[in-house]
Amino acid sequence: MIAIIDYKAGNLASVSNAMDRLMSRYLITNRLADLDQADAIIFPGVGHAAPAMRDLQHNGLDTWLRSTRKPLLGICLGMQLLYESTTEGPTETLGILPGRLEKFDATRQKVPHMGWNTVDIQPGKEAHPLLRNIPSGTHFYHVHSYFAPVTAHTVATADYVHPFSAIAGRDNFMGVQFHPEKSGKAGEQLLRNFLDLVYGGMRTVTA
């Protein structure tokens, strides 16, 4: 079972719909006991970082997330919260990945960055399990105003005036800035890759 973390940071319908389409069992939850039972974690989220962090701390989820060894996929705000801090607030975030989020410069481009943008795989990261059957240059649907820096943990970048981390990973932790659940076939492939990574292709589907 995949646990989709429910922490009052926006709308989970699109992620759970995507899990339904992939016929994956999931539970939307904020209970630590459920997370302990899960095979893997999807950490979604839209909205502001500060209230999201407060809700995670209130439920003890921040500590749990930092120490988990289960495969974890952060989506959009969920990815951003994996970093150390963000200028949104400013807010101290989970610190699983090094780096600080910055806001796009609204004098240089329209903010939020919204729409289908190409995602380019970093040299040497082509074999990342999330990228199976996803060529460099594939379009994914983005909606965000803050962006993660390009670091050693960057798996793929997107460019909106300057490059930023579109996919990042460290050990069991993975994050995507875009919305795979809204990114057509390519997004579905990425989510399928995550499930395959969790279940080793031995996934039992529920019809």
Choice from 58, 66, 132, 185 touching another protein (CB under 8 A): 185
Least separation in angstroms between CB 117 and another protein: 5
> Please, which residue, 23 or 152, has the CB nearer to another protein?
23
Report how far residue 173's alpha carbon sits from residue 67's, in angstroms, rounded to the nearest whole number: 11
Candidate segments 6-14, 51-59, 125-133, 170-178, binder of another protein by CB under 8 A: 6-14
Name every residue whose Cβ is closer than 8 Å to that of residue 74 and which is 6 or more positions away in sequence: 43, 44, 45, 80, 81, 82, 173, 174, 175, 176
Alpha-helical segments (H) within the chain: 13-21, 32-37, 49-58, 61-67, 77-80, 184-199
Report how far residue 66's alpha carbon sits from residue 16's, in angstroms, rounded to the nearest whole number: 24
Scanning residues 8 to 27, which ones bind another protein (CB under 8 A)? 11, 13-14, 17-18, 20-21
Does residue number 181 form part of the binding site for another protein (CB under 8 A)? Answer: yes
Name every residue whose Cβ is closer than 8 Å to that of residue 83 and which is 6 or more positions away in sequence: 93, 94, 95, 96, 97, 98, 99, 100, 101, 148
Choice from 35, 153, 187, 195 touching another protein (CB under 8 A): 187
Place of tokens 């082509």: 126
Sketch the per residue contact string, 115 through 154, with another protein: x for CB under 8 A, - otherwise: xxxx--------------------x-x-x-----------
The residues that are catalytic are 76, 179, 181
Scanning residues 50 to 89, which ones bind another protein (CB under 8 A)? none
The count of other CB atoms within 10 Å of the CB of residue 14 is 15
Of 130, 176, 172, nearest to 157 by C-alpha is 176
> Please, which residue, 19 or 65, has the CB nearer to another protein?
19
Does residue number 189 form part of the binding site for another protein (CB under 8 A)? Answer: no
Residues within the interface to another protein (CB under 8 A): 11, 13-14, 17-18, 20-21, 46-47, 106, 110, 112-118, 139, 141, 143, 159-160, 179, 181-185, 187-188
